[in-house]
Structure 1
Amino acid sequence: MKNGSALLNDSACAIVDGMVRDAERLRIAVSTGPLGERLVDAGAAVLGSIEAGLHMARATMGGLGEVMPVIDGASTRWPFQLEVRSSQPVLACLGSQYAGWNLSEDKYFAMGSGPVRLLARVEPLFSTLTYHETAASSVVVLETGAPPPEKVVEKVAGATGLAPDRLTFVYAPTQSLAGTVQIVARVLEVALHKARDLDFPLEDIVDGIAAAPLPAPHPDFITAMGRTNDAIIYGGLAQFYVTGPASAARELAEKLPSRASRDYGLPFAEIFAKFKGDFYAIDPLLFSPAEVIVTALETGETFRSGGRDAEMLEKSLA
């Protein structure tokens, strides 16, 4: 991808403009904030919808990924899954979709995702991810149940150089239909993030596809968070197509699945309680799909590791 264009930001804005046009059908609410920012509530004070969550997920990927519901005929208990794929997986998932921008302020907690991160470039990740954009407007996606306060809007505006009225904030809590969808749709992103933590050369990951079961939302935040994480940790499947030596592809396949983590083996809600709610005390290597397939394009070899855990899914998603 060439630097300088506004490809991801323009694509995300177009996706969100479509959401705004279809707001009634998607059961979302659109308003204008005190600084002129556009606010799209996809599941906080409104019911929202699965389709709204699909649009959110596509927007977070800057239009460089497909997200769609599919049926897994082999699963009788959790047959509906989300499938995510991208021919630009590193840029779509790490450069845009990853919720890596801390936008917390006082008692308001939120991590920002979406192509706005390519404009702000305030995260350490962008010291290695060299792609950048300039854009006339942008989209911020927040996993939260409240619109951003003025200080957060000002922070985003200051970091991006965009006036507040050129920013759209789309938000939905974990407990909502849309929130559940957009979180599970990160199954490919968490695999890429772990590959980076394992020091696999990101430029060698040239294509990717992943899927995870779509759990039911739950009104309790901890339960809802547990379900969305467990859908990936115990039910996620990801395949990477990589260049470079087959030995590196084999090693990535062996190390990438979630069961390689020291914290594997309990529902996520129980792991969260075990660490007294300290998310950052949990082994970061836990956050990856249950099963991984890596294909070495130069030799045609495919390596597999891990496996989906129906028993753990039953404990968490039932």
Structure 2
Amino acid sequence: MVSTNQRAMKVVEELLENAEALGCKVVKLDCGATVIDLGLNCRGSWQAGVLFTRACIGDLGVVSLSDFKLNDQYSFAAVNVFIEQPLIACLGSQIAGWKLGEGEFATIGSGPARGIAHVASDWYFEMTDYKDDYDKAVLCIQDVKYPSNEIALEVANACHVKPEDTYILMSPSTCVAASIQVSARMLEQTCHKMFEKHFDPAQIVMIRGKAPIAPVVKDELKTMGRINDALIYGSEIEVWVDAEDKDIAKVIHQLAGKTSSPNYGELFEDVFKDAGCDFFYVDHDVHSVGKIQIHNVNTGRAYCAGEINYEALERSFLN
């Protein structure tokens, strides 16, 4: 079976070899682990964001940049992602499911290392039986501080690799690399919600998506709101499935925010504040995509739900 960590290491090597040109910073922890900073204490770059995304999906897809037209005056960059093995790339790697550390030192890990560790708390492996086995581990985190030696050792020990063979890619929300890699989670979000709505994501043949890259601002809360709004109101997904028409018709309106989210139309920053700035209290259906179309390879029928909500994006991106 394909190794997401082996594939991601090629991306890591590119980042290490071209760190200065990519606006990244390489930090060696005392334990020997390597941290690659893509925007906390460095400027980051568009290409760093693309590489961050490729690493996060185990380099099992095509990631590119394009354009998103908001209105007659404003347009933004967009990220396009094409994936053919979503159970591995999205659920076995990209989704953020590994809780690391405790208290103020806690963080959430995503990326290929999850597929080696398979920690009990990472329940997303209920959706896929993927298991990786490689002698190097690549983890991705989004945080406002570098991971500690303790975090790095926790990763190394869980993955049964040496600390010096542990690589952690990180960025805060307030940089372009983070904005790109969050918008690129539109497919992961769709696969996850399919599972929650009792549609087997193993039926996906191919999947692609596009979402605007939210303009960052130095305010962490405001940026977090924008990057989530980019997914909720600006993402557009195309899925090819091998399934029954009746099952597609039953699930598709449960996947789009317009027809499933109780908070549709509200900006994520406001929803998050109302939840006491605790993701645990945010309704799960808030995390939906903007527009989705599903094609059935069995019957040739197509289904569509949702919309691109330009008005919500204007409120989020321009104020």
TM-score, normalised to structure 2, is 0.95
Q: Structure 1: give runs of 5+ residues left out of the alignment.
A: none
CA distance in 1, matches of 2:47, 2:68: 19
- Structure 1 residue identity aligned to 2:84: S
Partners in 1 of 2:46 and 2:8 — Cα distance?
18
Amino acid at match of 1:96: S
Assess if the C-alpha contact under 8 Å between 1:250 and 1:294 holds in 2. no
Q: Is residue 69–residue 75 contact of structure 2 (8 Å, CA) maintained in 1?
A: no
Aligned twin of 1:137: 136
The structural deviation recorded for 1:70 is: 1.2
How far the C-alpha of 1:252 sits from its partner, in A, is 2.3
Equivalent of 1:19, from 8, 15, 21? 15
Equivalence for 2:298: 298
Inter-CA distance 266–128: structure 2 relative to 1 (3 Å threshold)? closer
1:242-257 counterparts in 2 under 5 A?
Answer: 242-257=241-256
- Alpha-carbon separation, structure 2, partners of 1:45 and 1:73: 31
For 1:105, give the aligned amino acid: E
- 1:271 paired with 2:271, answer yes
- Asked if 1:121 is matched to 2:124, the reply is no
Q: Map Cα deviations across residues 149-180 of structure 1 (whole Å, 9 max, x no partner).
A: 12211211221111111100111000111111
Shift of residue 128 of structure 1?
4.1
In 2, Cα distance between the equivalents of 1:21 and 1:103? Answer: 28
Helix, strand or coil for the counterpart of 2:93? helix
One-letter code aligned to 1:52:
A
CA distance in 2, matches of 1:105, 1:171: 18
Partner residue in 2 for 1:64: 60
| Equivalent AA in structure 2 for residue 161 of structure 1 | H
Per-residue displacement from partner, 1:97-142 (whole Å, max 9, x unpaired)? 0011111333123210111000011112224411211101011111
What is the DSSP-based 3-state SS (H/G/I as helix, E as strand, rest coil) of the residue aligned with 2:75? Answer: coil
Partner of 2:105: helix, strand, or coil?
coil
Give the SS at the match of 2:272.
Answer: helix
- 5+ residue gaps, structure 2: none
In the TM superposition, what whole-angstrom CA distance separates every residue of 1:47-87 from its partner, at most 9, and x where no partner exists?
A: 11121111000000001011111124685423421111101
Corresponding position: 1:163 with 2:135:
no
Aligned-pair Cα RMSD in Å:
1.4
CA–CA separation in structure 2 for the residues paired with 1:247 and 1:92 = 27
**8 Å Cα contact 2:240-2:295 kept in structure 1:** yes
Instruction: State the distance in 1 between where 2:223 and 2:209 align.
Output: 21
Where 2:90 maps in the other structure, the secondary structure is helix
Q: Which residue of 1 aligns with 2:78?
A: 81
Q: How many pairs does the alignment contain?
A: 314
Separation in 1, partners of 2:280, 2:62: 30
Aligned pairs for 1:1-318 (under 5 A) are 2=1, 7-72=3-68, 76=72, 77-122=74-119, 123-259=122-258, 260-318=260-318
Contact 2:137 2:159 in 1 (8 A): no
Q: Which stretch of the first structure deviates more once superposed, 64-73 or 282-291?
A: 64-73
